[in-house]
Structure 1
Amino acid sequence: MEELWHKACNHFAVPEDVAKSWYTRIYQRLNESHSKRYYHNWNEMMQHKREHLLHCKPALVLAAFFQYYSYDGIQPCAKENCAAFEEFCCDASLDDQESKNSILKLLGDKSVENELETTFEDDANFLQDLDLVILAASSENYKRYCQLLRKEYEHMSDVDYKNMRLKVLQTLLSIPNIFSTTEFQTRYEAAARANMKDEISTLKICT
């Protein structure tokens, strides 16, 4: 992950000391022991994304690193994540406004404009698929993901969580494709659907 980060930073001519300090900062933030990042942390979520970030464009790498800089299972953190990215841009003296706006929009800032709407949509689809790729994990890893995700919603009762989770899974299974990009559909659609159907069966048994 460190190599990926520095490669992206080099593309945008980010000073080495800034790149190093922010890598450490993001790494530590995603590993905060007091937070409830049971899945959305460095060792779980980010490592699952690593393979798919190896050959994607630098702007997407930066977006993936900042996407969950702040995380709260109860409410969105887009504002906080955009603020962190803008602080990084300030430290890095990043003057590529088009790329900066694109990343901010990917992070959820609806106020910025992006002239390349088609490109943005492709990038947004990739980032979304990257989030969903855990659904196609091996059976063992998928069960672990389910356990960790449940812990992130420990504020919910078992009944409320199961109802919420069933609704999410059934909604995803009802659409033609879980994944938006052709590559992810080809590689992961079948496995993801099988895992989700197994989880639904388990949830219904436990209800």
Structure 2
Amino acid sequence: EATQEEVDAAVAALVAAMEGLKLKPRVVARYYPYFLPMTGDLKIEIDDPDGVLEGAAKFSVTYHLSDEEDGTPVTNTSEIVAIDDAAIIFYYPAATGYDAVDINIYDEEENKIYEFVDVVPEVISQTAETRFSKITSVIIGDEVFDIEELNYNTEAQLKLMEYIYAGYEVYIKLDNNTIVNLEGRAIKL
């Protein structure tokens, strides 16, 4: 049997310990595919009730491309963008075998302050697979990649993302020989 003083001391110690605990921040990620649905915008919302991420201003996304032929995983990291902006990523779990991404959080000076690991984004599009079935090839710079090659060729995937990050146009050839840009607008070449 414990005395009232012992119970009060134990309760006080428990309350003090609980006050020191902070809830972990949570993140919600939403993926908005472009016309070429393996590329798109990833936007995040952070729930941080205890202010663990105070000073969070920017983020980047580390995502998987297709593995090397020997099975070695290949990752790429998006550009660092403002927390209210969208990061452009390659996201195609059917081809890469990976459905999770890592979200890196930075302060204003781009010092990494937190990492959310294995986040599975919610895909915001009902028509991505329908649109994708009409794509025959992708034009990246002066090269044309068959869509199947782009699905599984790491070098082609890296080139695609480098072109997008550099602000160059990427074109998509549809099965009816129409050429469109990443937004799905017809282009005359």
Which of the pair has more CA radius of gyration?
2
In the superposition, the TM-score normalised over structure 2's length comes to: 0.25
**TM-score normalized with structure 1 length:** 0.23
Which is richer in helix?
Answer: 1
